[in-house]
Structure formats: structure tokens, C-alpha cells
Structure 1
């Protein structure tokens, strides 16, 4: 599959395709210092995520954001089978399937299979025969039926197939996990710091089973705080070059869907032997930190130890205890943690760290995968203290390893592009907030503190995150913009993140540096994005199912929304009640001729009706198609 060449410089690399059709090619060799090339939607040549491609690069575009390019040829296909949804069956029996991996709205004709009858809405694994080169329509044949879209229990399986996630563990991996037994052996405790007399406990979500971290705290006579962050010692069980390690290195992380978790490690470890359950011995890596009365770190120690958690709190239970609504012998410890959390948070704000203190709206599902409602998870003090202590432990470990002169898979975050930041500034101003043209971290910090309890909080937070560069893993430490830190890594979640496991190994001299860390960082960054796309695809589908449920139960139901983009094509808006974006085309805005103005508004010629950034509107669903994922909205 090739495209006509010009004199542009070329490189080869791996295509990373976005669901909206554009992509980035991760280059085998940098171009003018850039490691990737942006590929616009119509210049992918039909490449799918993971394909090895040759790209032509526009050298004039290599400024600021990085170079643009186009795919010249596909050197190697990553996959032979793709997940599709039957979207059309003609009267003559011709079948077409929508295949998300080929790009938005891309279809392929399906050759019928006598043993796999298909109907509209079926989700099916398709073997690609023709990819659509030389002007031909993509052609495929059914390989395995997943199930119909009406069956919500198959949503996760479809996402797993679409995004090539590993789900079931191979039997050798399970066997290796089982060989450790169900209890910590006394022989494994030898040589460790014994902290079983310390009062430790965990705070996690209601449904959590993989308890990575436990906390302990004590206030010394001089007013100093002794904080212990105790992290499951996964590296004790998952050894380099083991079957468990090989599988974990392919998965890179756990993936979380509504009601279902695909773990990085088998449940024998993730939910049992490594999980810091109460009243049982558990092997951990402890970061023991001493802070003065102002929250300044005075000293720290990183040791392998053994603990026995005294209690398992949910966030809700810990909050009730702090509010005096639940009795617990651990109230003093919780209160001390709140004290220290406030001090650490104050210091973090002083250095310019940006925090998005917004509630999270989660969708609830039953055992069949059908949505049953939504729930708001408040970002209360219990969430804040756990996050604050994990941030500090990650920072301390990153500095600790660096001071030893060792390499590390750092968690890095570049500064946002000025052009993207300008678009966000315009949106914030439209909502009535003041920001300079080029806001500093402190300006942004002040803004998000100001909007915290406003109806614009979720919209602005989401918009800002979309404008930022994504955080990633790298052996090169360039700092973390969002946290305003020079040293940061992921260390506190080794049950669910492979890079954290690597950090543990580095701490105790069990891994070498160099090319291996670069490969691990790249692979884990890539898989993190893949998991996020899979999670988002299922989350959106569940929300569409919920919309349809609500529409059937309440035909006149409508939703409050805020306009967050106005173009000549129409308006885009955010529905905070569902954490969902929508769009209404200009032709559907009313019985008038609307014109897009220089002030980024749409104005009716006859009615003078205006649509502008930050405007509150009321919308309802006109139509919702689960096959295409399209929702047609209308104003009321």
C-alpha cells in the first residue's frame, strides 16, 4: 500500500491512531529533535493503530508543536483481525460493518459466512481480506461473533477485542501465582523491618479489592509528624524474567471498566497475597517520612518491611468517622492525617502545583452490564489526604533514586503549548473569569480554586486537561509541569502499574539501567493510552445506554448544558450531569439564518438570537444510535 512520493524527508515508525481519525507516528529515528509526527485524518492511508509505516514529513511544520506528515506506505500490519459492528444489510443481503480501528465511520463489506449469520447491530471479529488500498472498498469475513449491541454484558469484551487488551491469564501465569500460597511465609519476613506493631490502615473505594497502599502516622513530642506510606512489595513475588513478569510487562497496567477490572496480575496476587488486607501479615516497601510543624520534610527512609493492617476503610467510612458519624478507634490517626495533609497541600500550592478539585460522576451498572444510574464521588478530605501522601511518597522515591545516581522511569509532564493555552484562556474568559494572555501556573491554580464550586468547574477542568500535553513515562527527567515538581515517578501502585514495580526493583538494585528503561517507559506510556481509550469507549457506550433508558422512561426528559465551543458548523456543549459532550448543527438551532461572527458567536438574522461561549442552554435527545455512537440533540 503506497502513496505517490515527493521530495519530503521520510522516516519509518509506529502509527498511533486516535479515535477521531488523526494519529501520531512514533519515529524510529528523530526528525529535527522530534520523536513523533502528526498525521491528519485523511492522510493515514488506512493505517491502523500499531502498524509500521513510512511517513513523509513536512519540514516547514516542525516548529512549536512538532512536524506534520502523511503516511506514504504501510510496511507491516499490526493485526489481521479487527472488531466491527454490523451497520447495514441491503435488500440483496450485502453486509457492511463499521470498524472503529480503521477510523471514525470507516466501514468494510463483509463476505457472508454460512456458520456465522449476522444481523444489524451484531458485534463481530472480522478477518481483513482487503484493507482499502488502490481505491478498493475494504473487505473482510466474519471470524467470531461477540454478541448483539442489545447485550450490554458484551460491552467490555468488544472493547478488549477492539483495543487488543489481554484479558484471561494463561494457565502457566496462574499456576506461578498460586505457588506462593495464600499467606505470607515466616521465611519471607526475615531481614525486613518489623512494623506490625505500627497502627496501619487502608483507605480505598467501596469496590476496591487491590489494596496497594496502607498509611500510618504518629505525632512526636516535638510536634513533628512521622508518616509511613506502606506499598505492597509486589517485586518480592513477581521476579524479573518470570512468567508473571512477562505477562505483567505485556499488560503494563490494570484496566478499569464500569463494574469490571482487568488486572495486571492474577487475583491470587492482586486481590490476595499482595493486597494489604486487614489483620494479616503483608510484605511492603515502606517510605518513612518525618515532617516538621510546617510540613517540611526533614528526613526519610525507604525500607522493605512487614505490616499488619488494623482496618480497611472505604472513603465514605473514613469521611463519616471524621464527621463524627462513625465510631472508630482510629479517629486520632485520621485527624492527624488531615492536619498533615493540609500542611503538605499548602506547600504544594506555594510552589504552583495545579489541582483539579472536582467531583467525579461515575456510572453504575448491574451484573448484566446495564446502567442503573449515576453517582457523584466527591473529592473530599479523605481522597485528598491519600492523594497528598501518595504524591509525596512518589516524589521522595524519585529524589532518593536520583541521589543514588540510578536511572528511573520518571513520570514527566511537559508545559502546555501556548496556542492551546490561548484557546483555554478564551473559554475561561467567556465564562467570566480573568486570566492573562499567557497565564502562569499560579494564575491557573488560582482559577481552578475559584471555579471549584461553580457550575463551570467540570467543563473548564475537562477543557484544560484536553489542551495539555499528556503525562508519560521517560528515563529522561524533564520534570512534571502539573505538579510543579523537578522529580516525580510512579511508585505507589505496583499491583496495577508495571512502572511502579520497576521503581521497586530499581530501589533495591534488581534492574539495570539504559535501553531497558527506555523500552519499559515507552511501552507503558503506550499501553496506558490504549487502556484509557478502551475505558472511555465503554464509558461512553454505557452513557448512551443510560440516555436511551431515561428517554424511554421519561420521553420529555431534558438536561442543562453549557456551551464550550461555537463554530460556523454549530455549537458544542457539556452536560455536567452526565459528564458528556454534545453537538447541535447550525441548521438545527432554530427557524432562522445564523451567521458566525468574529466574536465567536452565532447570531440569527431575523430573531437576533445569539449562541455564545459559556451560555447555559437546555437540551434533550432527539435520537440515539448505539451502532454509530451518534446522539442527535435538540434545543428546548
Structure 2
């Protein structure tokens, strides 16, 4: 914003004078959007009439499309020409929108004017003349780049033609498929179809079948369909598996001589009971000076996977393992992740290790990052390690109890430094041999889980500091960091307003430690309360998403200035990148790697992590609907977990399954959506349904194809508007 303020406005200022001042101010600040308060301050508008006149002028400028007002109440000049480029967003109701590359509000594109653009396509549009009191509209004049040309759906096959019927809400028309392009598909098959053309005058796109997934409703078919919907792989390439099968497993004496030998030091793994890929192990021994040496040993994947070999290229493309409800889609071939690299008990394994000397106060006195050879003595499931912690008895009880004590001190120090304490209960399904969910259970993070978590955090932080923490006059070498930005102030304000209705408060301003400690106090206060899960969910939404970048800004949630991912190279490609770079920097003193190359890899990894997470959520939603499908007509207690203009989302207390009460089924009144306060308000009765309200529902419909549960209201006990 310009440093120089306008002269103090006269007590009475003309509309023309104020308009000129306002235009000059906006022209002077084209790179930032100004709030109304900032505008008044800059224009020295002190009186109420002057502020109201400014408001009127802004309203007229917005109506004339001369000024934009964002959803957050900020103003900027409209610099649009008659054509713009941006992203096309398709909606099945035909009310498509265009998101300009340069920012600004979305522009309406009717189906008639969409030019057969598909969701997320890069397009060029032309503006229509502005109609008074109407949103701006445009027409797609050119498709610059297709975002996606494959779709998943169910085949409907007739004698001479076929269609792919999709539940994709961003595709308004079914895909026409010539019978010779069906690849043997039959009616009722789930298939992946590629759109090959969409003639100008044709209502439907034309496509060909790429793959038949199986019969709709079959568990494997549906899980593969979810992966295909997100563009994720559901089979592993044979040539990659064959290459993995040719990798020798022998560890030579020459290789052992290069490494620190931990084979005779007490070492074990602690993992979920159904885990097969053990990518981390802990060793512990007491030193002569009575301090403790703790080894965090990580599978040395990059010893076996060489840069740019066929396995590396496939792992780089996938970037992460994917965890659906009933299966894991691994990043690496099974022979590597479950056999060669997995730190299985009683087998000699190559590792890349962070070794710490710690005193009994949990302070790290020395650390080093070294290649090692280890031999795990025991494989613990989390439940087994937890039993040792609780009973103080069992195999390796002395070692586990000491590790747990040190982990507790590390954890306490982390929270004292301002780390956030999100400790949510996860919902899991018991699944039978056919993949059908037969029960629900809640997975809590206990001391055994936190023990492992704390030492993994310590290793990741230490590796990041070894490379990133350099003197003021030096530039750190390139490394992929795991970064987490400060919360969005506006989202924090929204969170504060939301929790106020439950009687809670948080600090939304001040330094980052003040804010994070305030959020932690809130999370502690809500523990055990019926609104705990809801408030934790809304709190998480106020946070930024963690991501990968070579530009380190620290990790707000963990309160670390330096943090990376080093401890899971079997399932995350960034960890493989870090292993290679750290090896080069520490052992060979290699020059810094290409920032451009690694930033691009970081962006790809962040994007694939997000897509994998969305696929995981879709698989959970599918199993929720499948689990509730035989409970139609049954009643459950729940809580309003989301409020939208089209209805109320309700999370059931008993099993955490979520469904919707469509607003059309709230037929006792016409309900209006109060977006700011997360509520629906009856126009006539003034009944209010708010986020967090307890509610009783009946299960009305379970649509597996759409992954959608519909509820109806049983106990109408909403609050009245005050």
C-alpha cells in the first residue's frame, strides 16, 4: 500500500471528488486488495456520511464492473480485457464457471456457451456485454489444454451403440461409445473410458473403452474404480516388478565394511499389527557415561533403487503409497517394500540411521546421520508394545519403558515450544473376506504410537537441521523440506466465532507461540466433550495444508524451524530424494542440487499426496454407505457436522458415518442459508439448524454409486432464532 496518505477530507466532500480519490487509490494499489476500513483510512474518511458516500460509490463501481469485490470484502480495480485465459469448472446443472488466471471472481459460463470444455480445462473466454444487476458471463472460444480425458462409470450397452454413464458431477453428458470400441465390455460393467472427440454439434462426447474394471458392486471393482477416478494406478507394471525381481539380496562384506554395525545392539520394530512394510526400527543401549544411545534406523531404499532406473521412475510418478480402506497400493514393487527393504526380524538389513546420544532428561547431546547394517530382534505390534508400557512387563520391557520415558520428555518439550496437539480418533472398518464392512471401531493414538511418532519427528528434524542450518554468511544446500505455513487469519477469526457458541475462546492475534498455545488450550478443554470431534475438525480446517518445498519456512504445526521427511522411503518419494541428497552432501560434500528440479518434484509430491488422500476419503465414504445400506429405516443420534445451502450433513454418534438431510426434505418451512454462522434459518418458523446441534435422524437412502447417504429428520428440536 502507498506510504503517502491522501489529505484529510473536508467535512463535506463531493461525490465527484471522492470518486477521483478512490480511483487514484485503487490505481496506486493494483497488486493488493483493500478492505473498506483500509480505504477509509487511506482516504482520511473520518465521518459517517463520508464513509457511507464511499460505500455508495464502490457499489456503483462494482455494478458497472469497474471494481471487483471479493468474497472476503476486499476491493480491487477490474483490469479485464475482452478475452481472458483461466480454468473452466464444469457443473452437472449447466451453471459452469470460469476462474481467471489473474484472479478475481468466477465468471458464469452457461452450458450452451461452454464449447464442450471439460472440468479443469485451461480455456480462453470472451466476455459478453454486462447486463445490469447480473453476474458477468462469458463464452469459451478456445480450449487451450485438456485437464482430463478419461472417465469412470458403468456401461449401458445396446445392439448398435453404448454409453458410459458416470456419476461424475462435473460431466453433464454420458459418453457415447461405438460398439467396436467396447473392448468386450457388457452392460453393468464398470469401465475406464477415454474421450476421443466431441464434435461441435454433438450433444455427447465420443469415447473408447481403455479398461474393464469388473461388475459394478464387486468390492475389487469399486476400489479400482475409485483409484481410476482420481487418475491413480490400480495395477503395478509387470516390467517394473520383473526388474525388482532381478535385484540381488546378498549383502557383501565390502558393503558391510562401509557401514556402522548395529547387528548386536538391541533393535526392534513397532508397527500396526497388519503391517508388512517395516521401514523404521529403534535400537537402544546405555553408554558407559550412563547416557542412552538411541538409533532411528530407516530402510535404505536408495541403496537398491538407483536414480532414474525403471523402479525410480515409477516411484517418482506415484510419489506415495495409497491407503484405501481395505488395501495398500504401494509406491514400490512388493518385493522391495515387503521383502528386500522391510526391516523384518532376524534378518540382516541395510539402513540409513539417525543416531542420538541422550541423557535421562530427554536432551539430545550429540547426533549423527550414518549408513548402518542392523538386525531386528523382535517385531512388535502397537498393541503388544502398549501392553508392555501399561504392565511394565514383557520382552524388552526395560528398553521399551526407557524409550517411552524419553519420548514423553521430547513430546513435552515440543508442546512447550508451541507445537499443536491434534490427537483425533480415527474410524476404521472391520471387513470380511469379500470386502464387506461388518463393524466399526475407533483407532486411538496411545503411548506406543506416540513413542514411535516422537523419535520419527526427532530424526526428520535432525536431518533437516544438518543440511539447512548454516551460518549467516552461508547458503544452505537444496533439500526438500516439509513445510507448514501460519494459519490464515480470516479462518482463525471464523474458528473463534464458531467456538464462541459453545462457550470457548482462542487468541487470533499475537505471535505464533501465543496463538498455537491458545489453540492447544482449546483442544485440551474440549477433550471428552460431545462437541470435541466437531471443534477439532473445524480447527484443522483453519490450518494451512503441510506440503513439500525447497524453500524452507519451517513447520508451524510442529513448531520446528527445520523439518523434512526422512523416515518413510518405502512409501514416500520425498524421503528417497532426501536420502540421496543427504548422502551426497554429508559423505561426498557434493555441490548443491538443482533448486528448480527439486521444487518441481516437491510440487508433484504434494499434489499426489493430496490426490491419494482424496481417494482414501472416497473409499471410506463408499464403505460408510455400504455399512449403512442394510440399516434403512433405523434411527440414530447424531450431530450436525456441516451446513450448506443444499442441506445438513449429520455425523452419527455411534459409528461416525456421515450423511445428508437434503434441504428439500425439511418441508415444514422455507430455509435460508446463513453462510457466515453455519446455519439454516426457517423463514416463517425461525427454526435454526446450526453446526454442532444434536439431532436424531432416520436412514432414508444409501446410494453406493454416488457414495451418498440420505437421512430424514426424526426429532425436530432445532433452536429458535434469538
Q: Same fold (TM over 0.5)?
A: yes
Q: In the alignment, is residue 211 of structure 1 matched against residue 278 of structure 2?
A: yes
Out of 619, 626, 632, which is 2:704 matched to? 626
Q: Which runs of 5+ in 1 are unaligned?
A: 58-68
Aligned to 2:577: 502
Aligned to 1:417: 488
Cα drift, residue 607 of structure 1: 6.6
Out of 149, 153, 177, which is 1:84 matched to? 153
Cα drift, residue 437 of structure 1: 4.7
The secondary structure found in structure 2 opposite 1:541 is helix
* Rounded Cα–Cα distance in structure 2 between residues aligned with 1:469 and 1:449: 21
Out of 635, 641, 649, which is 1:558 matched to? 635
Aligned to 1:174: 241
Structure 1 residues 497, 43: closer, same or farther in 2, change over 3 A?
Answer: farther
TM-superposition CA deviations, 1:350-406 (whole Å, max 9, x none): 111112112211123233222222221111011111111111111110011114632
Structure 1 residues 464, 136: closer, same or farther in 2, change over 3 A?
Answer: farther
Aligned to 1:406: 477
TM-superposition CA deviations, 1:522-554 (whole Å, max 9, x none): 1111111121122222221111111103x1xxx
* Rounded Cα–Cα distance in structure 2 between residues aligned with 1:291 and 1:361: 36
Cα drift, residue 457 of structure 1: 2.7
The secondary structure found in structure 2 opposite 1:483 is coil
Cα drift, residue 342 of structure 1: 1.1
Aligned to 1:390: 456
TM-superposition CA deviations, 1:28-56 (whole Å, max 9, x none): xxx6xxxx999789699676678555689
Matches of residues 425-444 of structure 1 in structure 2 within 5 Å? 425-438=496-509, 440-444=515-519
Structure 1 residues 526, 565: closer, same or farther in 2, change over 3 A?
Answer: closer
Structure 1 residues 179, 536: closer, same or farther in 2, change over 3 A?
Answer: same
Q: Would you say the 8 A contact 1:43–1:71 is kept in 2?
A: no
* Rounded Cα–Cα distance in structure 2 between residues aligned with 1:182 and 1:413: 38
Q: Would you say the 8 A contact 1:225–1:340 is kept in 2?
A: no
* Rounded Cα–Cα distance in structure 2 between residues aligned with 1:587 and 1:268: 53
TM-score w.r.t. structure 1 length?
0.84
TM-superposition CA deviations, 1:598-622 (whole Å, max 9, x none): 9665455777654333211122210
* Rounded Cα–Cα distance in structure 2 between residues aligned with 1:577 and 1:23: 39
TM-superposition CA deviations, 1:136-181 (whole Å, max 9, x none): 4444454543233321221221123222223433333223322333
* Rounded Cα–Cα distance in structure 2 between residues aligned with 1:568 and 1:491: 44
Out of 582, 585, 596, which is 2:659 matched to? 582
Matches of residues 72-151 of structure 1 in structure 2 within 5 Å? 73-85=142-154, 95=163, 97-98=165-166, 100=168, 103-104=169-170, 106-111=172-177, 113=179, 116=184, 118-119=186-187, 122-131=189-198, 136-151=203-218
Aligned to 1:261: 328
TM-superposition CA deviations, 1:176-234 (whole Å, max 9, x none): 32233345344432210001111111111111111010012345566644221100011
Matches of residues 593-612 of structure 1 in structure 2 within 5 Å? 594=671, 601-602=679-680, 609-612=687-690
Aligned CA-pair RMSD:
3.7
Cα drift, residue 464 of structure 1: 2.6
The secondary structure found in structure 2 opposite 1:426 is helix
Bigger mean CA deviation after superposition, 417-426 or 392-401: 417-426
Cα drift, residue 566 of structure 1: 4.1
Out of 285, 299, 302, which is 2:366 matched to? 299
The secondary structure found in structure 2 opposite 1:508 is helix
Matches of residues 352-501 of structure 1 in structure 2 within 5 Å? 352-403=418-469, 405-438=476-509, 440-501=515-576
Out of 713, 716, 719, which is 1:635 matched to? 713
TM-score w.r.t. structure 2 length?
0.75
Aligned to 1:614: 692
Q: Would you say the 8 A contact 1:96–1:108 is kept in 2?
A: yes
Structure 1 residues 495, 569: closer, same or farther in 2, change over 3 A?
Answer: closer
Q: How many equivalent pairs are there?
A: 604
Structure 1 residues 337, 479: closer, same or farther in 2, change over 3 A?
Answer: same
Q: RCO higher in 1 or 2 (8 Å CA, sep ≥ 6)?
A: 1
The secondary structure found in structure 1 opposite 2:345 is coil
The secondary structure found in structure 1 opposite 2:574 is helix
* Rounded Cα–Cα distance in structure 1 between residues aligned with 2:300 and 2:616: 27
Structure 1 residues 506, 18: closer, same or farther in 2, change over 3 A?
Answer: farther
Cα drift, residue 576 of structure 1: 4.9
Structure 1 residues 572, 621: closer, same or farther in 2, change over 3 A?
Answer: same
Q: In the alignment, is residue 573 of structure 1 matched against residue 647 of structure 2?
A: no
The secondary structure found in structure 1 opposite 2:648 is strand
Q: In the alignment, is residue 250 of structure 1 matched against residue 311 of structure 2?
A: no
* Rounded Cα–Cα distance in structure 2 between residues aligned with 1:8 and 1:328: 75
Q: Would you say the 8 A contact 1:430–1:614 is kept in 2?
A: no
Q: Would you say the 8 A contact 2:162–2:179 is kept in 1?
A: no
* Rounded Cα–Cα distance in structure 2 between residues aligned with 1:144 and 1:184: 41
The secondary structure found in structure 2 opposite 1:525 is helix
TM-superposition CA deviations, 1:272-306 (whole Å, max 9, x none): 11000001101001101123343332221000001
Q: Would you say the 8 A contact 1:427–1:564 is kept in 2?
A: no
